[in-house]
């Protein structure tokens, strides 16, 4: 895995084939169940093609024997026709097996991808605190792609190899038990040599892959931060850093080349040496009348089949181990508990809440930091339709209150009530559909302005979208673009300024028409002109709604119905702006004087 959490199938850790791993694999096969008839036929054609493959050398041996004995042309023709029939059966079975396996695999992978994404998006925020986005993305892409390869080829290869090895050894014993014992006495030495070199090659390949990923990370980070590189004149430092890493990759590759060369030599000496020894021993038996020429011919072909197949078993087992590793990673997601979401009409639950909020002795610590209380004994009542401001230094707990209102985390102690309903008694869809959050750092999707505004209400009409943009003071810049609402905003909205992104987010919130509005420092990073436009849009948005405003710029919340001052997760002051300014040694007054004296 590189520095950004991405990984290829080769990077998926190999797991030992354990009982737990096999149970996970069997669980995964429930996604194949709807297509079990096609899969059964596919396995039938796979076994048929593998058995036909085993019949081929036997018939070739019979053909050689028939020729040596001067058999009449009709017998030779009969064997040749049988060979052609076997070839046609094998080709036909291979075709139907490939088509059926591809159909089952594509349908199964679509179901797994769909289930993984659907489940992932319903998981609570605490799950995403523990996992990086790049890692989760790799689960859906790399891990599922590895499952795709397994269902398409790996299982077929393993089944085919098992049939060829077991059936081939059985036919070898049937053909000549003496020669089979001679071959089996030599073969283990060859297999050990192949395994020994293969182990070193896999280690070096993994090391080279890791070093290549690290070098790619250097390139990616350097190019992303090219302004910093140039402003600190570190071009030559980065050139040297990348060069050193590339040299490490080259050295590892050259070492790997040495082992690959030795591996190839050992493979040639071992397999062909075994073949030569078998032919030598068979020729002696042929001279002594212990076997027929055709039998020796069939025996050699079967030996080649088995030798080649055994050489590929290690690679298939490695792929199966990676498949088990990918399965375990996916089941870590599958076994995480979803949030209780329901599919509902976007306007179907709006009448259920009036907008009153009560915090009753609320305390909270993030699951990742359970010993650090972010909020302590918060008691607060917010009346419906009122504007309440939360102020305080960074880390006082203001944004945490906004997160808890959306029920993104469970309170550690105490409770939150909406119109006398406990937050746990409201389903998440009902609650969140009536709360709109406008944060400081606006995330826009990479589509059009229209798509980003209508994200607040998917079935919004053209007039509703236009009106929302107008009320958010967004038409002022939208109409300047040649494509207007169809303008592409770019990844994360990078084609727009901060003020423009804020106004699109406000238009989105207006379109949602929430009962409760949460503004989390929505103007703190804007210039004066943009702040004025955004502030006007926010005033329009806050009308007739319960509004919770989190602000560093205290000038924006002077008209709030109530100002709550937080310090170290506790409420230390409550009142209106004039009331709090009368407190000579008050925290709010101190923040005001500090801010306006700068």
Neighbours of 412 (CB within 10 A): 16
Pair 184, 40 in one domain: no
Rg (CA), the chain: 35
Give the three-class secondary structure for 553. Answer: coil
* Residue 9 belongs to some domain of the structure: no
Q: What is the DSSP string of 140-209?
A: IIIIHHHHHHIIIIIHHHHHHHHHHHHHHHHHHHHH-HHHHHHHHHHHHHHHHHHHHHHHHHHHHHHHHH
Pair 64, 98 in one domain: yes
* Residue 303 belongs to some domain of the structure: no
Pair 572, 430 in one domain: yes
Counting Cα atoms < 13 Å in the Cβ hemisphere of 328 gives 16
Pair 554, 425 in one domain: yes
* Residue 297 belongs to some domain of the structure: no
* Residue 6 belongs to some domain of the structure: no
Q: Is 392 left (phi over 0), alpha (psi -120 to 50) or beta?
A: left
Pair 58, 125 in one domain: yes
Pair 73, 157 in one domain: yes
* Residue 347 belongs to some domain of the structure: no
The parent domain of residue 263 ranges over 177-290
Q: Considering 339, 367, 397, which residue would you say is the last residue of a domain?
A: 339
Q: How far is CA 546 from CA 5, 256, 517, 540, in A?
A: 41, 67, 6, 13
> Smallest Cα–Cα separation from 400: which of 566, 222, 527, 255?
566
Pair 361, 471 in one domain: no
* Residue 349 belongs to some domain of the structure: no
Pair 258, 120 in one domain: no
CA dist., res. 373 & res. 365, Å (int): 5
Helix (H) / strand (E) element for 413: namely strand 413-418
CA dist., res. 86 & res. 331, Å (int): 43
* Residue 220 belongs to some domain of the structure: yes
> What CATH code is carried by the domain that includes residue 473?
3.40.50.300
Pair 77, 169 in one domain: yes
Number of domains, the chain: 4
Q: Which residues neighbour 385 within 8 Å (Cβ) at sequence distance 6 or greater?
A: 355, 544, 545, 546
Beta bridge partners of 380: 359
* Residue 8 belongs to some domain of the structure: no
Pair 276, 323 in one domain: no
pLDDT tens, per residue, the chain with 598 residues: 444 444 444 554 555 555 565 666 677 777 788 888 888 898 888 888 878 777 766 666 666 666 655 555 666 677 778 778 888 888 888 888 888 888 888 888 888 888 878 888 778 777 776 766 666 776 666 667 777 777 777 777 777 777 777 877 777 777 777 777 777 776 677 667 666 766 676 677 667 767 776 777 788 778 877 877 777 777 888 888 888 888 888 887 787 777 777 777 776 777 677 777 777 877 777 777 776 776 677 777 777 777 667 666 766 776 776 777 667 667 777 777 777 666 655 444 444 778 888 888 888 888 778 788 888 888 888 888 888 888 888 778 888 888 888 888 888 888 888 887 888 887 777 788 888 888 777 778 878 888 888 887 778 888 888 888 887 778 888 888 888 888 887 776 677 777 788 888 888 888 887 888 888 876 655 566 666 776 777 777 777 788 888 876 666 677 788 888 888 888 888 888 888 888 777 777 777 776 655 4
Pair 71, 201 in one domain: no
Pair 263, 181 in one domain: yes
Q: Considering 305, 339, 373, which residue would you say is the last residue of a domain?
A: 339
């Amino acid at each position: 895995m590189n520095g950004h959490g991405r990984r290829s199938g080769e990077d998926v850790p190999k797991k030992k084939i354990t009982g737990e791993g096999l149970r996970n694999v069997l669980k995964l096969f429930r996604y194949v169940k709807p297509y079990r008839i096609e899969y059964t036929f596919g396995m039938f054609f796979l076994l048929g093609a593998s058995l036909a493959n085993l019949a081929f050398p036997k018939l070739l041996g019979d053909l050689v024997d028939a020729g040596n004995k001067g058999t009449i042309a009709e017998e030779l023709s009969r064997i040749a026709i049988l060979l052609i029939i076997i070839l046609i059966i094998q080709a036909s079975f291979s075709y139907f097996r490939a088509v059926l396996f591809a159909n089952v695999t594509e349908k199964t992978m679509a179901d797994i991808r769909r289930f993984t994404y659907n489940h992932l998006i319903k998981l609570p925020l605490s799950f995403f605190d523990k996992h990086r986005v790049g890692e989760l993305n790799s689960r859906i892409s790399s891990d599922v792609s590895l499952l795709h390869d397994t269902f398409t080829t790996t299982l077929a290869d393993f089944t085919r190899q098992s049939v060829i090895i077991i059936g081939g050894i059985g036919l070898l014993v049937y053909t000549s038990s003496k020669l089979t014992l001679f071959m089996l006495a030599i073969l283990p030495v060859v297999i050990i040599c192949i395994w020994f070199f293969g182990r070193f090659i896999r280690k070096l390949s993994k090391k080279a892959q890791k070093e290549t990923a690290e070098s790619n990370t250097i390139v990616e980070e350097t190019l992303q931060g090219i302004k910093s590189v140039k402003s600190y004149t570190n071009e030559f430092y980065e050139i040297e850093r990348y060069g050193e890493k590339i040299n490490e990759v080259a050295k590892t590759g050259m070492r790997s080349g040495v082992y690959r060369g030795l591996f190839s030599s050992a493979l040639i000496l071992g397999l062909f040496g075994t073949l030569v020894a078998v032919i030598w021993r068979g020729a002696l038996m042929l001279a002594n009348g212990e076997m027929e020429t055709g039998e020796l011919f069939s025996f050699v072909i079967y030996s080649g089949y088995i030798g080649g197949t055994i050489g590929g078993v290690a690679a298939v087992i490695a792929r199966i181990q990676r498949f088990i590793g990918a399965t375990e990673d996916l089941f870590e997601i599958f076994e995480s508990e979803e949030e209780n979401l329901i599919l509902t009409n976007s306007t179907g639950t709006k009448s259920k809440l009036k907008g009153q909020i009560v915090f009753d002795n609320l305390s909270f610590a993030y699951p990742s930091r359970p010993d650090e209380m972010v909020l302590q004994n918060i008691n607060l009542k917010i009346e419906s339709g009122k504007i309440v401001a939360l102020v305080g230094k960074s880390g006082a707990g203001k944004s945490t209150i906004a997160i808890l209102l959306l029920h993104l985390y469970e309170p550690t102690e105490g409770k939150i009530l909406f119109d006398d309903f406990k937050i746990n008694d409201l389903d998440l869809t009902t609650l969140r559909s009536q709360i709109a959050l406008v944060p400081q750092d606006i995330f826009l999707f990479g589509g059009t302005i229209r798509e980003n505004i209508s994200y607040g209400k998917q079935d919004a009409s053209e007039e509703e979208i236009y009106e929302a943009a107008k009320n958010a003071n967004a038409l002022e810049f939208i109409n300047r673009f040649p494509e207007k609402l169809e303008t592409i905003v770019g990844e994360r909205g990078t084609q727009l300024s901060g003020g423009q992104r804020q106004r699109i987010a406000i238009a989105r919130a207006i379109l949602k028409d929430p009962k409760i509005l949460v503004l989390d420092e929505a103007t703190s990073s804007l210039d004066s002109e943009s702040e004025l436009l955004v502030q006007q849009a926010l005033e329009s948005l806050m009308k007739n709604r319960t509004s919770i405003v989190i602000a560093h710029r205290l000038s924006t919340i002077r008209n709030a119905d109530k100002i709550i001052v937080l310090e170290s997760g506790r409420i230390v002051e409550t009142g209106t702006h004039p009331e709090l300014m009368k407190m000579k040694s008050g925290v709010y007054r101190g923040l005001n004087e500090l801010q306006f004296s700068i």
